[in-house]
Structure 1
Amino acid sequence: MQKKLMATYILIISLTIIIAVLFCWHMGNKYFKDTTLKYTETKGELLTDILANEAEKDRLDFSSFVDEYSSKSDVRLTIIDVDGTVVADSDEDFRIMDNHIYRKEVSSAIKGEIASNIRYSETIGAYYLYTAIPIDIKNFKGVLRLSLPLIEIRDIAVDMIIYVIYGILIGAVVAVIIAYIVTRKFMQPLEQLTKAAIKISEGNYNEKIYIRNKDETGKLAEAFNDMTVKLSLNMWKLEKRNHEFECVLSSMINGIIAVDEQYNVFLYNSKLGKILDIDTDIVGKSIYEIIRNTTIFNVLEKSIEQNEYIVDETVINDKIIRVYANPIFAPIRSSIKNMGTLLVIRDITDIKKLETMRSDFVSNVTHELNTPLTSIRGFVDTLKNGAIKDEKVASRFLDIIDIETERLTLLIQDILSLSAIENMEDEKNNNVNNMASIINEVIEILNPKIKDRKINVNIQVNDDITYNCNRNRIKQLIINLTDNAIKYTEKGHIDIICKESDASIIIEVSDTGIGIEEEHIPRLIERFYRVDKGRSRNMGGTGLGLSIVKHIVSLYNGKIEVDSIIGEGTTFRVLLPKKSSVK
């Protein structure tokens, strides 16, 4: 900015100098010419008077006169008669000179006028000022012409112009220096404003300008400082609002994507990327480039066309997705403008699985309950129809009814246990418990079954291992694993190992039983899943034992692992984090 102002000042000064020089040159020339003309006319009139006096005394000699007075007056003198013939000249031989009748100043003087003219003299080879004065003396009538070269006048004018230029240049230098100082002083506040504005544009909203001037720049600086304070406050509010908005979006369990009228994305949240496996920025891109699913396109387009809420379900990347589409309206003055469409994408895979599990659970529970109830009802009807009179038959039927009743009791207890675990009942009653003590209690409870199966149980646990947990839950976990091992081990032994690592308590229950085929291992913890249904029922299993184990492990954020070899045995390994809290 300062360079532009200085350039403007220099241009103005330069134009002023040029105009001044041209004006001085013109006026100087005119002044000197006018002065010289008046001087020659005055001098000519004096010479004509002298010439008249000489004629009165009869001493008139034109050649002698022009020679004498030419040197005295520093001019060239020429005397011409009325016919234009040169009769005397101070510088040239008058006898060889041309007739001057047609010279402008001579012809005017012959007519009785004092005339002057400037022209180039071919004889002398320079510009001359010619002044002709009419003379009418004794025995002669003609013209006295004075010739003065203009070289001296030009030299005087040039010298004058040079001095003028020197003066103007000195004044111009002073003016430029003053202009620099003035512009510098004027530009300093503007430079501060510019630097502050640049910093603000870079995000530094705390920049201030300190100018003490009371003029317009001072008022501008004060207004600028007020603006930065308000701008900083507004940006803080805007950033806070944006941060809150982003936090709300990122905290949503559903994927959000908003598209404009051209189907270009202008808003989305991080959950969308997790649901649809998108790991790049998609703002500004067309939704047709990002998602390739006909159902989503149909929902989107139908919502835009019908201008209403639409919902549908589809499958993307093995995930069951529910898509909600709703137009985005923005009130503009008295009308409402459609800005695009908002898509809410929800992953309902787990919900669908849960619904399936619940449906299967109800079906399985119904089946599991119906089997013993049907058996009990059948035997009761048989007894009512007369079998009760036969003591042996009645006794056998009553034993079967007792077994089926026991099965119903165990099934109901397991269902209630699952419900209690899922509802997290009594899960706040955690204490530091000794793992060796819990395992010994389990062995005491299951000791009748162990003796009946004639199986050896080996326990490996340090007496100092403790775990912060609900004692009954961990006991139930070990009971279910050990009971399961007893059921499927016909001979051999069972190993119960409890150890600890830096991060976890590890519980292993291994048997030398029949083993499990690898294809069944992923489904072992499902409710009512049995590898051999007939064998499981005959052994009194409800099909919920391992599912209960899985839920207890999940309560403590743990993991369960299964290793099995057909004919050699199975190992269940439970890892419970030491620092984990109940979910």
Structure 2
Amino acid sequence: MGRLWRRELWRLAALLAVGLLIGWPFGAIGYGLATALALYLAYQLRQLHALQEWLTHHPHDEPPAASGLWGELFDRLYRYQKGQRLTQRRLRDTLRRIQESSEAMRDSVVMLDRHGDMEWWNSAAERMLGLQPAHDRGQHITNLLRDPRFVDYFHARDYREPLTLSSPIDEQMILQFQITLYGDDERLVMARDITRLHRLEQMRRDFVANVSHELRTPLTVLAGYLETYGDMADQLPPRLGRGIVQMQSQAERMQNLVNDLLLLSRLEIDQGGQDDARLDPASLLDTVRRDAEALSAGRQRLEVSIEDVRGLLGSEKEIHSAVSNLAFNAVRYAGDDSRIVLRWRPWQDGACLEVEDDGEGIDPLHIPRLTERFYRVDKGRSTATGGTGLGLAIVKHVLLRHDARLEIDSRLGEGATFRCVFPAHRLVGDRATADSRRAGAGES
């Protein structure tokens, strides 16, 4: 390119020299130079006009014929255009393949812009969500999916867990929504039809609830007869007496298991959590402490710590069951001579009920699975302590019904902390008053 510029400058210099030579004999050097510059300018304007005509009317044709700097410019623009057309063709092909693959998906796919307006969706979205290309394109997603739970989920911007809702056009169709953020704050909304899985899960719940209910009567009869035989143990042979004691223990364990299964089934089926009575956490924890002390029989030290004066809205029976399960687990697994603290204190924007112990602790590898039904870190030890393996599953569902969550902090040899975190709208009282009271207690 530098060589072409030098050649162009030499051409201009030669043209000026010719104009100078022509004007010199007539004493009109200025006219000669002006004529040379006019000819040069006319040539440049002609090439500019050719460039404009080519780009405007024939951009896909060969460029105009030219030499020198203009010829190089035409060639470079032509190559650039060819490269851009090739890139655009590849992008169109890629976009077409993406759209075709999305169309082949059985799941709904909806693309949203940074404002939440719908830009594109596949045919599955039309079938599951009732979207219509002629009317809904450019509409905000919450104008079509108006369920308050979806609106809250969309605006919360916490999409780690999916949301399960009925289809807006068919209440019998159960959809699982998952939103993904990408690009410039854009969103991809995917909806999967889980109606069959939902029905299977409902059948499982009903089966467990029905079987547990049916087992209650024969277990009650067995336990009654075993209790009668236990009262007559001194009249029975020693070997038979020992067997009666073992049967009583196992019957009691089965009754506890059935009761926990029934409670868990009720919590799963009834997701409302409508009992919003005001609870006094201090009184609740004191009651749980006394029950845990009876189970401990002096093997551990149990304490209650109240660091927040606010009350809690919820079902007293369910929250008592959740905290009791955590406290009883601490008694069973923390080990002898350990210290167990039941605590109510502020936590982030809300508050939490904690059960903390300084016992053996739990390997972090097991923590993600602790709330699964019947999951045991140490099967032998868990069976020996009489646990049912459903305690933490019950805790999880109780907290879900109260818009709360379970957090677990533990390491081997460093004890464990089980934290029930409740949001601010589940609290009753003034946070400022609670802070001032704690400050005053600290100064005193």
TM-score per shorter chain, which class?
0.3 to 0.5
Structure 1 or 2, whichever has the larger Rg, is 1
Between the two structures, name the one with larger relative contact order (CA 8 Å, sep ≥ 6). Answer: 2
TM-score, L = length of structure 1: 0.36
Question: Would you tell me which structure has more strand in proportion to its own residues?
Answer: 1
